[in-house]
Amino acid sequence: MEILCLGLNHRTAPVEVRERFAVSISQQGKAAQDLITQAEALEGVVISTCNRTEFYFSAENAQSAFRLVEKHLAETIQFELDSSMAAHFYRLEKAAVAQHLCRVVSGLDSMMLGETEIFGQVKEAYRLALESGTTGGVLNKLFQRAFGIGKKVRTETSIQEGATSVGSVAVDLAEKIFGHLKHSEVMILGAGEMSRVTAQSLVSRGARSIFVANRSFDRAQELAKEMGGSAVRFDDWQKVLERVDVVISSTGAPHAIVQRADVEQARRARKYRPLFFIDIAVPRDIDPAVGEIEEVYLYDIDALEQLAEEARGRRQLQIDECERIILSELAKSKLPGL
C-alpha cells in the first residue's frame, strides 16, 4: 500500500483554476468519502483552503489510483483533464507525501511563510475525514505525526515569529505599548481601506471602542456601524484625542492633518498617558514633529513596512532549519505506506 497526494496550490495554479477545485469546509468530509467510493482509494483526506486543494489517499497501485482520482475530479467538476489543466497538479508518492504534509502544517508551503492558520485548517480537514470514517491506520499515523512535527518546527524555530504585514505590525506594537487592548480606545482618521483593515485587527485583539472621523460624515457613520464604533465629525477629532490610546490615520489629504500643537493641546487632559500614532497615509497625515513628544510613539507606513519586511526576512532564514527538523523527525518515524 502506498501513500499518495494529488494537489494544486498558489504556486502551481492561478486563482481561476484553484477556485474550480475548492471544496467548502462543509463538503470536505463527503469529498473524502467520494475518494473512497468513486476513486477506489483505501483511505482519504481532503484539504481545501484559499491557496490549496489537496487529496491525500492510500492505494495499492499509485499510477492507477492517480488516474482514478483525476477521473473522479473531472467528473465531479465537469472539466476536461487535458495536459494544460493537468500541469497545475502535483502528484506525490510515499516519503514525498509525508515531507510535503509536514511542510504544509509548518507553514513552509504557505503564501505567507510560517502563517499559523494552515495548521488549524489541516487539523479541521483531518477531523472531518476522521468523522466520516475515511481514515485508517495509514493516514491516521501520517497526519498525527505531521501535526507533532509541525508543532516542533514552530516551537523550535522562529518561523512564525514577528508580524509580516503592516496591519499585524501595528497591532503588535499597540500590544507592546498597551498590553491587552481591552482597555484601549482607537480613533480612525479617514475611512480608507487600510485604516479599516488595521482598525479591524485591533478590534479582533480586543480594542474597547473605535471612533471614526472622516470628512464625509456619512462614510464615517457607515464604517463606524460596520465596526461597532462611533462616528465623529471631522472637526471634532481633537476632542476625541483626549481619550483615545491609538490613532490610525489614512486620509487622502495633501498635507499633514495632525500637527504637534494639536497633540500638545490634548496632553494635559490625557494626563500624559502614552499615545500611539499609526500613519499609513501617503503623503503623511501626521507631522513627524508629533513623534518628538515624550509620550507619543509615531510609526509611518515606511517604518511599519520595513518592520514587516524584516520579519519576513527573518522567517526566510529559518527555512533550512525547519526542513532539517522535518527530515530528521520523519527519519525517526516508522510510518506505514512510505
DSSP symbol at 282: S
Residue 308 CB, nearest approach to other proteins (Å): 11
Q: Which CB atom, from 132 or from 184, has the smaller least distance to other proteins?
A: 184
Residue 162 CB, nearest approach to other proteins (Å): 9
Stretch that binds other proteins, among 96-104, 188-196, 219-227, 299-307 (CB under 8 A): 299-307
Stretch that binds other proteins, among 67-75, 123-131, 258-266, 296-304 (CB under 8 A): 296-304
Q: Which of 2, 124, 310, 321 binds other proteins (CB under 8 A)?
A: 310
User: CA-CA-CA-CA torsion for 190, 192, 194, 196, nearest 10 degrees?
Assistant: 80
Cell representation of residue 229: 464604533
Q: Which of 23, 101, 102, 307 binds other proteins (CB under 8 A)?
A: 307
Is 312 one of the binding residues for other proteins (CB under 8 A)?
A: no
Contact 119, 150 (CB under 8 A): yes
Q: Which of 111, 152, 297, 321 binds other proteins (CB under 8 A)?
A: 297
Nearest CA among 173, 174, 184 for reference residue 208: 184
Residues from 146 through 175 that contact other proteins (CB under 8 A): 158, 173, 175
| 23: helix, strand or coil | coil
Is 208 one of the binding residues for other proteins (CB under 8 A)?
A: no
Residue 167 CB, nearest approach to other proteins (Å): 16
**Locus of grid cell 487600510:** 194
50 catalytic? Reply is yes
Q: What is the DSSP string of 300-329?
A: EHHHHHHHHHHHHHHHHTTHHHHHHHHHHH
Residue 229 CB, nearest approach to other proteins (Å): 21
Q: Which CB atom, from 9 or from 184, has the smaller least distance to other proteins?
A: 184
Is 294 one of the binding residues for other proteins (CB under 8 A)?
A: yes
Is 57 one of the binding residues for other proteins (CB under 8 A)?
A: no
Residues from 175 through 204 that contact other proteins (CB under 8 A): 175-179, 183
Contact 7, 55 (CB under 8 A): yes
Cell representation of residue 315: 522567517
Q: Strand pairing of 185-189 and 90-93?
A: unpaired
Give the separation between CA 30 and CA 134, rounded to whole angstroms: 9
Give the separation between CA 323 and CA 338, rounded to whole angstroms: 18
Residue 175 CB, nearest approach to other proteins (Å): 7
Give the separation between CA 282 and CA 305, rounded to whole angstroms: 13
Residue 297 CB, nearest approach to other proteins (Å): 5
* Buried b / exposed e along 206-216 (16+ C-beta atoms within 10 A): ebeebbbbbee
Contact 113, 316 (CB under 8 A): yes
- Interaction pattern, residues 238-277, with other proteins; x per rule: CB under 8 A: ------------------------------x-xxxxx---
| Binding residue count for other proteins, defined by CB under 8 A | 22
Q: Which residues contact 191 (CB under 8 A, 6 or more apart)?
A: 212, 214, 216, 219, 220, 222, 223
Q: Which CB atom, from 63 or from 316, has the smaller least distance to other proteins?
A: 316
Residue 175 CA: distances (Å) to CA of 64, 178, 247: 54, 5, 14
Residue 265 CB, nearest approach to other proteins (Å): 15
Q: Which of 5, 50, 102, 322 is catalytic?
A: 50
Q: Which residues sit at the interface with other proteins, rule CB under 8 A?
A: 158, 173, 175-179, 183, 268, 270-274, 291, 294-295, 297, 299, 303, 307, 310
List active site positions: 50
